[in-house]
Amino acid sequence: MDSQQFREFGKAMVDYIANYSDTIRERKVLTSVEPGYLEKLIPGEAPQFGEKWQDVLRDVERVIMPGVTHWHSPNFHAYCPTANSFPAVVGEMLSAGIGCVGFNWEASPACTELEVMMMNWLGKLLHLPEEFLNCAGGNGGGVIQGSASESTLIALLTAKEKMVRTFKQKHPDMTENDIKGKLVAYTSDQANSSVEKAGILGSMKMRLLPADSDCILRGETLKKAIEEDRKKGLIPCYVVATLGTTGTCAFDNLEELGPICNEEDLWLHIDAAYAGSAFACPEYQHYMKGVKYATSFNFNPHKWLLVNSDCSALWVKNSKHLVDTFAVDRIYLKHKHEGVMPDYRHWQISLGRRFRALKLWFVMRIYGVEGIQKHIRTQIGLANYFEELVENDKRFEVSTKKLGLVCFRIKGKNILTEKLQQLLTERKNIYCIPCYFREKYVIRFVVCSRLTLKDDIDYAWNEICSQTAQVFEMDKNNCLEGPPAKKLKFEEDVLNNNAEIVED
């Protein structure tokens, strides 16, 4: 493909994306395809001879779109937002066009330096404590990672290395492996699955401590767990607090957890993957009260801050700990300006890295702080509107509401809400997912797409109301299935009063 063909193909693709976005409401949010649909639509081998770009573009609609769940449809209310905006898409395009690999400063100075600046812009936008910033004169700084999962793992590995070094100095008789085998990490049972996974990948026992009835991890719970473990001869090392849990957007109590972590010399990592974007608005910054106690802080601009995936922002107060953990030197990676600017290869798992700061730069310049705040406020405003609709209908109750997430249910037995969830998913007009809150089955309704308008909320509400009428009708006719009966392992166990429930 020469540059002239690229111009034509690229422009046609920009038109395609713009049209997709303009007409997205016409598509069902969920697909109707069955597993294996795609192999019936394209050949099993790559073409021997190059094809025309026009044919490839035509196949996007035929092959790809039938299997796309439309995450940017205003009718998508599941999980949490995944960010998308035109400035970010163009930023991605430029990043691909430059195609550099910025593993150290010399490998592409602009790639490193723009990232340093953008992480400072972003940190200031969120009003993070100065110690996290690269411009504060200390060792603080930010780096773009691929995901919140990666950030949690990187902080865990760094905390582990730091603790092993400190402990070894105090107990020179112990081997590194002895120490590593005793390390313990803590988080709440509401933390994202990625936190548990970080424990598995980093070979550190991860205790999922019980959150309170509002899904918040409290200081007392952590303190008790640490005491228990110290008595057993274990070594508490790492704590992950969540600001905005995946299920119900609960905020762990940093003002209680923070001082405990600091007194016990534990690494406190904050996972604010979704909610972090809201801190761009001063009125939501109270949710991160106690952030000053944290060792590292992470949120995903690729969730709610209009920056396409992947872009996960991680700050640490002392970047030397990252370098101590991840630095592996080779002659071919050295350069004469080492130590002046970060060599980001020492701040991450992989060696190579893309020029992701470009899309942050484009988004922050083209939206401005005001535009970003407006986006967050509009989405929270729409969630407030949805909450009001639910509250004003006596058939329903709001279980919890935080930022852009409303958890609601039909009053009464769980099966009513379970059936409603099932009908909504089958009809594919709107997409929500469920969770449990205080042992009750609830539907999570999240304002996700940046394209969502008040009319879309009305559309979703009408869909919910029409299907709720169906559910009541089914209930009246005794057509609602009960929950699947729990299977018991052995009849004789029942008789012996020793029954064990078999997991399905």
Residue numbers at the binding site for ligand PLP (CB under 6 A)? 80, 147-149, 192, 194, 242, 244-246, 271, 273-274, 300, 312
Q: Which is nearer to ligand PLP, 271 or 387 (CB)?
A: 271
* Nearer CB in complex with ligand PLP: 118/163: 118
Q: How many Cα atoms within 13 Å fall on the side-chain side of residue 502? A: 10
Q: Within 13 Å of residue 403, how many CA atoms lie on the same side as its CB?
A: 30
User: To the nearest 5 percent, what fractions of the chain are helix, strand and coil?
Assistant: 50, 15, 35
**Residue 192 and residue 186: Cα distance in Å, rounded?**
13
Q: 311 vs 416, which CB is nearer to ligand PLP?
A: 311
Task: Please state the closest distance from residue 155 (CB atom) to ligand PLP, in A.
Answer: 12
Nearer Cβ to ligand PLP (73/246): 246
Nearer to ligand PLP, 180 or 359 (CB): 359
Both tokens assigned to 297: 């802080």
Q: Which is nearer to ligand PLP, 108 or 300 (CB)?
A: 300
> How many angstroms separate the first and last alpha carbons of the chain?
53
**Long-range contacts: 471-480, Cβ < 8 Å, 24+?**
471/410, 471/416, 471/419, 471/420, 471/423, 472/395, 472/416, 474/419, 475/416, 480/415, 480/416, 480/419
Shortest reach from residue 150's CB to ligand PLP, in Å = 7
Q: How far is the CB of 491 from ligand PLP (least distance, A)?
A: 42
Q: Report, in Å, the least distance between residue 337 CB and ligand PLP.
A: 32
How far apart are CB 382 and ligand PLP at their closest, in Å?
A: 19
User: Could you give the strand order of the β-sheet that contains 267-271, starting from the edge strand earlier in sequence?
Assistant: 141-145, 312-316, 296-299, 267-271, 235-242, 183-188, 205-209
Tell me how crowded residue 21 is: count the other CB atoms within 10 A of its CB. Answer: 15
Q: How far is the CB of 149 from ligand PLP (least distance, A)?
A: 3
Q: Which is nearer to ligand PLP, 194 or 379 (CB)?
A: 194
> Chain-centre distance of CA 455, in angstroms?
27
Cβ–Cβ under 8 Å, residues 409 and 396: yes
Phi, psi of 345 (to 5 degrees): -60, -25
CB of 274 to ligand PLP, least distance (A): 5
Q: Which is nearer to ligand PLP, 183 or 270 (CB)?
A: 270
Q: How far is the CB of 254 from ligand PLP (least distance, A)?
A: 15
Between 29 and 448, name the residue whose CB sits nearer to ligand PLP. 448
C-alpha triplet 295, 301, 304: angle, nearest 5°: 120
Residue with tokens 């999922």: 208
Smallest separation, CB 133 to ligand PLP (Å): 22
| Residue linked to tokens 């111009």 | 7
H/E stretch holding 314: strand 312-316
